[in-house]
Structure 1
Amino acid sequence: MNAQVYESIKFDINKVVESASKVIAPYGPIHTFAARNPWDGLENQSFEKTARFLKDLSNINIMPSDSMIHTARNQGEINLNFLGEILGQWLHGQSLDIPQDVQERYCWSLLLQEKKPSKALNRTEWKTLSKRLSNWLPQIASNHSVRAYSQVLEKLGDSRIADELDRHMIKWCKLFLDESQAVWSMPLREEGFYQAWRKLVPKDPALNRSIRKKLKGLPKEADQALVQALEILEVPNSDIKGYLEAHLLALPGWAGMMLWHSQKAKNHKSLLMQYLAVRITMECILIKPSLPLPNEENEALLETLLVSWADWGDMPLNEWSQISFTEQKARLTLAYRFDEIVQHKIWLEAWEKTYETNLKEKVITNQEGQNNEADTIAQLAFCLDVRSEPFRNELEKAGAFETFGTAGFFGLPMETCKLGSNHSHNSLPVMNQPKLKVKETLPESELNPYLRRKQAAGLSNSTFQVMKHNLLSSLMLPEISGPWLTLQTLARSFLPRRTGYALQRLREKGLSKPETEFTLDHEHHSGDELPIGFTDEEKVYYVRTALETMGLTERFAPLVVICGHGSHSINNPYASSLDCGACGGASSGFNARVLATLCNLPMVRQNLRKDGISIPEDTVFAAAEHITSLDEIRWLYVPELSNHAKKAFDQIQTILPKVSEKANAKRIPKLPSIDSHSTPRDEAMRRSEDWSEVRPEWGLARNAAFIIGKRELTKGTNLEGRVFLQNYNWEKDSRGDILTNIIKGPATVCQWINLQYYASTVAPDYYGSGNKTTQTVTAGIGVMQGNSSDLLTGLPWQSVMWSDTEIYHEPLRLLVVIQAPKEYIKRLLDQTPEFQQKVQNGWIRLASIDPDGNWESWS
């Protein structure tokens, strides 16, 4: 590689790194766990092409496995008629010069695999034939992905360099990204990852002296080091982007965390560049003695295709000489194209089509009687989360209540700061940025006593941590803390429900938190800080947008409840993953309180009347939180109620225990290893308080569809807790703005949730996080398996699997169903090219229901 070529790369290396970073997703710390689509940057290409790329480069299969497909088929979840239709469509697009019946017989045999492949084959004869036909190989086989040189050696059977490279990168990433979990932090972190590594690595005792010597005198800047390493390795100019992609996909968790930091902090913008500079420089040093590498060839490919025809096409060796060269090439092409990825894709599409058909029958034939809207005494807006749907059904059956589904952050682009906390949290989808900050406050006369109580309550824990990290005091710590911790361990282990309840009451009584307020009024700010509070115009705008999005702009009931949602569990690193996925891994109760408070402001209501939204004077907005692990409602904000609102509130209070009981009775039996002697309510409470419980709830497992339409479509229908529900009335959206915002916001969040569960199911070792019981929380930011694995960014085994061999979550791509006229759907696709691209490339499925009730599939 000549120096002139690399001189031009120096000016573009940042762009190349940015382009390569599309193969990974940015991942934040686990304590703010939020749903991410691991393939968000690859949606400009098809789902199948991405599957092929990952399979070829990293041997990662993102299609459902044979065992998953076999189980689904046996359980009647895949209609074979749909399988035949999809296979026929695929064959029609191949245009191969082979009789149709021969093609179908071969493909059906491979799909069903109802006979066993022959093992008594003359391998010598097959090798001879494959060599004779080898001139066809370049015409039917596509190019392989670019691999890092250490990965090439690994593919050839020598994984020592790849393993050592990963081990060192994991070590340095842990040190650099640590969030105060380590007692001694990494020196020079403030100078950046590459600079700290460059100055410290010559002293690393884990490297031998000769390697440490080679690592002295490295370029001072990361981009220079990266370019130099690529030049030494002689990576072709056309392969540089692919080479960087291969290195990013080697440890997508740690690389994803570096990417997340580079997007969040201005002083870390080049962090991913630094990561690649360190990794490829290390590879260059480690692999240089092994260069040049042997050529990577796949000599067995043709033989494999020939044997496939013998096994599944009933075509013995001697028949190959009886057909023309054209048909020989066509048959080899068919065998090459109809590979495992295509077969599993056809099965997946048939599985998805079967689910869509079943959902269609439920929705279209729904004849559930509706409550008279004039008799509705309370309206409750829930998050569109799939866990809300069963609870909403039980609530509507219990009385004259109307429920709505909408995004759990309620359209408020806030950064929130709870009372007594020095830290803020983005309380909105991770794809968006906050525009303002809202703080929870108290008058100073009440705030200071509360902070003293809170400090006193946390004193024992802070003292424990100080003693634990001090050399001398840590020696005495077991004797000091032993009796109390032993007692707590026994109580937590044998009486988890009662212990948890007692400790909660003790904390609440000790803290005695007063009624708080919010900084809702706009405050001037300077610099780069977010403004605090809302301007008057913003208050009206966000309330109007929230009400329009949830479809509540008329016929207001006396009581309107904004229900956020969260979960409750103990000793669970993934606790935030069970909270509101739209709120960046946090409970959405804060957002619910803010919106309800804004809706009660006289100024806001007065201005809403000008826009045609008239809220009656006796209508009161309250806020609550749906605790999904307990299926109960907790009140967060109940202002002074009008007489009619008070009557509605009392009625809700009366029926909530029964609603909770019925919801738990349907949900709890779906969890494995339940205590059959306990009531569903007691079992739910035990799971939420038991620190040995690996499954406090199923979370959003089995999510499969997102319905955007009137509540009448699904009211009273058992959707099995698998559907996100967003209220939408196309008749009030003539310009399509509301639908567009739903697709850009809630639909995208739901797709990310869906693909996160999908990825954690089909590729648990790569995109999941393994078994909870063997995880190690590391650096305060995430989990690993053992002490030297990738940073695991997906969901644990317990979130998607029923048992070691049986999945619970069905890996289906999200089906978006929109109730609107056909022209609305066409306009939506024209106005949202990103969504249209997702549909066309198979990342999401689309269907619509027109005003006459006709269902149409768009994908």
Structure 2
Amino acid sequence: MTTSTPVRPVTRIADVRKTAPEFNLDATIDHISHWLPTQGPIKDFIHHNTLHAVQHHPFHEGVAVAARIFGARSYLPLADYQKRYRQGRITDKAISWAIKQSAADIKDVEKFRCSLFIEDDRSHYPPVSLANQGIRNTWLTGLEIDLNALVHPVLFRLLANFLDQGISRWSLPRSGERFWDCVGRLVHNSLLPLYPFHEPVVRALLLEKPDQVILTCLEKMVGDEQLYEQYMLEMLLAHPGWAGMVRLIELNPQSLLARPAISLKEMIAVELACELAFLHLKKGRQFQNIAGSPKSHAVPLLNDHDFKPAIPLRLKVWHEAMEWTLHTELLKAMATEAAKSPAAGVESPAPLAQALFCIDDRECSLRRHIEELNPAIETFGVAGFFGIDFLYQGLDDAFPVAQCPVIIQPKHLVRESSLTQEPAKKKNGEHMNDLHVKSHSLFRGWLYTQTLGIGYAIRLAWNVFRPDGQLPNIKKLSEVKAHTHLHLLRESDTPTEDGRMLGFSFTEMTDRIEGLLRNIGLTHDFAPMVVVVAHGSSSVNNPHFAAYDCGACSGKPGAPNARAFAWMANHESVRALLRERGIDIPETTRFIAAMHNTSRDEITYFDEYLLEKHPLAGLQTFKETMQSALELNALERCRWFELGPQNHDKQAAHAHVKGRSVSIFEPRPEYNHSNNLYCIVGKRALTRDIYMDRRAFLHSYDPATDAQGAVLARILNAIIPVCGGINLEYLFSRIDNSVYGAGTKLPHNVIGLLGVANGVEGDLRTGLPNQMIEVHEPARLLIVIEQSRDIIDKALVKIGELREWLDHDWVRLACFEPTSHAMYFYSGKGWQSVDLTDIAPTPEAACSEAVFAGQVKTVPVHRLTKTRSAS
């Protein structure tokens, strides 16, 4: 038993010809482009659902459709699930639950249950797909010509040079020149022929418009216009990285700093012309086209809409059982924790300090360590742009960048200036790294390579053997000076040339501060000190560096947002407006901006000179607690690193993670979001004493202040695309790293500052590299909301298209009702009660270190029982 849906016979070409509509080139390109990845340039790495093209399907059906298109696996190998069962990480109760969910597709439950334990090392293999076994495969099987191997090196070189963002010294396109015109100029005006476009027929053809070139090539190569759409899709799927990048740049040219003009149609025209040229050169002008080949009549067709791909039922059930086991671990712990809530009327002591962290799962453990070390410090979680959306242009930035989630279009521009006079620049040649600007000539390039290149080689070798050393002219994120000023207050209502407003008015500032404080439930009982902690990451061997920064800041560090929030919240005019709106921040309360470097576990405090006017007695205590928490955090992380110290020495662990960040041979500066699994929206008391192994996104929320679900809707609008996108990109990159991921980092080269490729002529790799996901357990995100079902339903009405993520189970949703403590699961069919009576009790430990000590794999959810002296 391997399928839940019967497979009907594949439609033949002759059948399609009778019913297919007339070919429309523009509509066809729009249609097939939906199957292309939407990963942008690496400078702004935005996590997203890898399979966004099938998100309108239920999860398991969607991954099956994607497998048929892309030729990818849909689940882990059967042996992996069976191994987890033997280890106790999948329970019998979870298997029973998963079977019940698929009962309609199972005729004999007992027989099916027995089949789950039969060994099968082939069931996870990808199905016959368009990408690997489509009509375009006829060239290889029929004419014995590998067009991919011939065409891709030519096409990729043209694209890389045309779209280059700064690696190349010389620019391929002329000012304002489109890609199609640039290729035409190279073909017809170059002294040396551009191979293979010098072929006479193709050379003449390139004088036409792209539309005509595409139609001419398809008529000659395919021969049946009903197959044109599928042929172009298969051609693009042979290099989805470049195809997706071109389409994204066409639709969003602002994603690049230098913006060359290109369209997917132009790229298709160039590629088809290149294919035709090679066919003429290798097989002559009278080759047999696709429609005339007998081998093309038995392949799957894209426009056979009635065809439903097979869903491997055993793998589906195993995967559901694995997720149910992991999800109920948390739900059981939360239910147990809620049962021991403190008696009504007992007031908690006033906090020494409050700290606002990003909801990022890497901050989950740091918050836990801070609270264990000093229970007088209260922590909150919020999206890491802190509700302040703007374009930011730093001191050294040539262009402003967005500091907010990708779904928000910022309308404000904030610039940074220095508080001190900049030192004079060093003379030419005084700094070793300045020499590259002089070497761009034939003789000088050779001379510098033969002489100064030796010096670079020595420095490189030194860093390989001394990874704790500092590479020349590389600043660690935590070492960046904080003595600058952000121009936040708008002085003029005249917009910039692109329609942006320079800075914010006091009313706009108040709107943003109020919105965040109400979202997290911090509207009273302010501590004397509120620390706004952004996060970012630094490393020297990581082309995917933006994927390690803040997803809520479009893949950039959140320091500007933290500084902006603190400045606004400290301003008397903003506080006066807040008081009018019912939020009274005491005069003795000061907001401080800071940033956590997640790779080095270091903290930077910004704008401390402002505290000279308002000294804080508790600041030193907070800093000492934070430093101890960072060392414990480093110790907890080191258990994943094979070369990390395993002697429970916090200082040694801290030194190790700092050394990893500057090691040029270290492909794993940190594991980033690996093992992300949970997202909890509720009061911190619900999870404060629960150990979740750095797996949870934590968003603060007070259910008692949101009777209409408006606050919850705003939170869901942020966490579903950000946390859900992170989770699904990790999931699919782990399920099939060769198709949905980027493979190993080791052979990656940065191409044009656009992306990475294997070698110099490979396709741009999409998804995540193996070194980011190798320890990840691929399970869907579980969002747990502390709120009644009625109010959650009100919020779901307000989130629009994002509800598709929940209705089709791309992320899972659970409800924890604050009054009854009952648990419910959500699906498109409604709410389902969760029975936790037969779930094993949650294991307990005195403190975090007692849980992770000696562990080298993911640790189940634990409850922490150590008495809190200040609780």
TM-score, structure 2 normalization: 0.81
Aligned to 1:816: 783
Aligned to 1:730: 703
Counterpart pick for 1:613 among 575, 583, 595: 583
Aligned to 2:399: 423
- Map of 1:529-544 to 2, 5 A cutoff? 529-544=499-514
1:248 and 1:255 in contact (8 A); partners too = yes
SS of the residue 2:639 aligns to: helix
Counterpart pick for 1:112 among 91, 110, 117: 117
SS of the residue 2:503 aligns to: coil
2:550 and 2:558 in contact (8 A); partners too = yes
2:70 and 2:129 in contact (8 A); partners too = no
Is residue 435 of structure 1 aligned with residue 411 of structure 2?
yes
More helix by share: 1
Is residue 841 of structure 1 aligned with residue 808 of structure 2?
yes
Aligned to 2:497: 527
Deviation at 1:109, TM superposition (A): 5.2
Aligned to 2:842: none
Is residue 792 of structure 1 aligned with residue 765 of structure 2?
yes
Aligned to 1:318: none
Q: What is the CA–CA distance in structure 1 between the aligned matches of 2:133 and 2:604, rounded to whole Å? A: 53
Q: What is the CA–CA distance in structure 1 between the aligned matches of 2:195 and 2:450, rounded to whole Å? A: 40
Is residue 191 of structure 1 aligned with residue 177 of structure 2?
yes
Is residue 378 of structure 1 aligned with residue 344 of structure 2?
no
After superposition, the C-alpha distances for 1:819-859 in whole angstroms (9 at most, x for unaligned) are 11010222233333423322232311111111121111113
Counterpart pick for 2:245 among 238, 247, 257: 257
Residues 220, 737 of structure 1: alpha-carbon distance in 2 compared, 3 angstrom cutoff: farther
Counterpart pick for 1:213 among 185, 198, 201: 201
Counterpart pick for 1:401 among 377, 382, 400: 377
Q: How big is the alpha-carbon RMSD for the aligned residues of Structure 1 and Structure 2?
A: 3.7
Aligned to 1:682: 655
Aligned to 1:293: 293
1:146 and 1:243 in contact (8 A); partners too = no
- Map of 1:49-128 to 2, 5 A cutoff? 49-93=61-105, 100-101=107-108, 104-105=110-111, 107-108=112-113, 110-114=115-119
Larger CA deviation: 214-223 vs 53-62: 214-223
SS of the residue 2:783 aligns to: strand
1:409 and 1:428 in contact (8 A); partners too = yes
Deviation at 1:382, TM superposition (A): 0.3
| Amino acid of the structure 1 residue aligned with 2:337 | N
Residues 57, 168 of structure 1: alpha-carbon distance in 2 compared, 3 angstrom cutoff: farther
Residues 717, 472 of structure 1: alpha-carbon distance in 2 compared, 3 angstrom cutoff: same
1:391 and 1:663 in contact (8 A); partners too = yes
Q: What is the CA–CA distance in structure 2 between the aligned matches of 1:372 and 1:256, rounded to whole Å? A: 56
Counterpart pick for 1:167 among 149, 153, 163: 153
| Amino acid of the structure 1 residue aligned with 2:52 | D
Q: Where does structure 2 lack aligned partners over 5 or more consecutive residues?
A: 1-12, 280-285, 301-306, 828-871
After superposition, the C-alpha distances for 1:94-140 in whole angstroms (9 at most, x for unaligned) are 7xxxxx43x752x44543224899xxxxxxxxxxxxxxxxxxxxxxx
Is residue 661 of structure 1 aligned with residue 649 of structure 2?
no
Q: What is the CA–CA distance in structure 2 between the aligned matches of 1:161 and 1:849, rounded to whole Å? A: 56
| Amino acid of the structure 2 residue aligned with 1:715 | R
| Amino acid of the structure 2 residue aligned with 1:294 | P
TM-score, structure 1 normalization: 0.82
Q: Where does structure 1 lack aligned partners over 5 or more consecutive residues?
A: 95-99, 118-140, 301-335, 802-807
| Amino acid of the structure 2 residue aligned with 1:426 | A
Deviation at 1:392, TM superposition (A): 0.2
SS of the residue 2:585 aligns to: coil
1:24 and 1:38 in contact (8 A); partners too = no
Larger CA deviation: 645-654 vs 606-615: 645-654
Is residue 278 of structure 1 aligned with residue 248 of structure 2?
no
Is residue 474 of structure 1 aligned with residue 451 of structure 2?
no
1:150 and 1:283 in contact (8 A); partners too = no
- Map of 1:364-763 to 2, 5 A cutoff? 364-366=335-337, 373-399=348-374, 400-442=376-418, 446-447=420-421, 449-450=422-423, 452-453=424-425, 460=431, 463-478=434-449, 480-482=451-453, 484-499=455-470, 514-523=483-492, 524-638=494-608, 640-641=610-611, 646-676=616-646, 679-763=652-736
Residues 298, 795 of structure 1: alpha-carbon distance in 2 compared, 3 angstrom cutoff: same
Counterpart pick for 2:334 among 345, 360, 363: 363
1:25 and 1:36 in contact (8 A); partners too = no
After superposition, the C-alpha distances for 1:205-224 in whole angstroms (9 at most, x for unaligned) are 57457745324233643344
SS of the residue 1:25 aligns to: coil
Q: What is the CA–CA distance in structure 2 between the aligned matches of 1:343 and 1:162, rounded to whole Å? A: 36
Counterpart pick for 2:313 among 320, 324, 342: 342
SS of the residue 1:858 aligns to: strand
SS of the residue 1:344 aligns to: helix
Deviation at 1:244, TM superposition (A): 4.1
1:381 and 1:550 in contact (8 A); partners too = no
Deviation at 1:182, TM superposition (A): 2.5
Is residue 856 of structure 1 aligned with residue 824 of structure 2?
yes
Deviation at 1:143, TM superposition (A): 11
Deviation at 1:196, TM superposition (A): 2.0
| Amino acid of the structure 2 residue aligned with 1:387 | R
Residues 217, 458 of structure 1: alpha-carbon distance in 2 compared, 3 angstrom cutoff: same
Aligned to 2:851: none
SS of the residue 1:112 aligns to: coil
Q: What is the CA–CA distance in structure 1 between the aligned matches of 2:476 and 2:730, rounded to whole Å? A: 35
Counterpart pick for 1:36 among 48, 54, 64: 48
Q: What is the CA–CA distance in structure 1 between the aligned matches of 2:731 and 2:48, rounded to whole Å? A: 11
Q: What is the CA–CA distance in structure 1 between the aligned matches of 2:335 and 2:482, rounded to whole Å? A: 49
Aligned to 1:314: none
1:352 and 1:812 in contact (8 A); partners too = yes
SS of the residue 2:369 aligns to: helix
After superposition, the C-alpha distances for 1:754-807 in whole angstroms (9 at most, x for unaligned) are 111112211211222222222122222221112222101222111111xxxxxx
Q: What is the CA–CA distance in structure 2 between the aligned matches of 1:403 and 1:507, rounded to whole Å? A: 22
Q: What is the CA–CA distance in structure 2 between the aligned matches of 1:494 and 1:147, rounded to whole Å? A: 47
Larger CA deviation: 474-483 vs 551-560: 474-483
Q: What is the CA–CA distance in structure 2 between the aligned matches of 1:432 and 1:403, rounded to whole Å? A: 26
SS of the residue 2:380 aligns to: strand
1:54 and 1:61 in contact (8 A); partners too = no
2:708 and 2:794 in contact (8 A); partners too = no
Q: What is the CA–CA distance in structure 1 between the aligned matches of 2:299 and 2:176, rounded to whole Å? A: 51
Q: What is the CA–CA distance in structure 1 between the aligned matches of 2:751 and 2:429, rounded to whole Å? A: 23
| Amino acid of the structure 2 residue aligned with 1:185 | S
Residues 763, 507 of structure 1: alpha-carbon distance in 2 compared, 3 angstrom cutoff: closer
- Equivalent residues, number: 778
Q: What is the CA–CA distance in structure 2 between the aligned matches of 1:187 and 1:268, rounded to whole Å? A: 8
Deviation at 1:339, TM superposition (A): 5.2
After superposition, the C-alpha distances for 1:231-287 in whole angstroms (9 at most, x for unaligned) are 555676665555444333222211121122113228878612322333344445556
1:561 and 1:623 in contact (8 A); partners too = yes
Q: What is the CA–CA distance in structure 2 between the aligned matches of 1:672 and 1:157, rounded to whole Å? A: 50
1:378 and 1:560 in contact (8 A); partners too = yes
Aligned to 2:235: 247
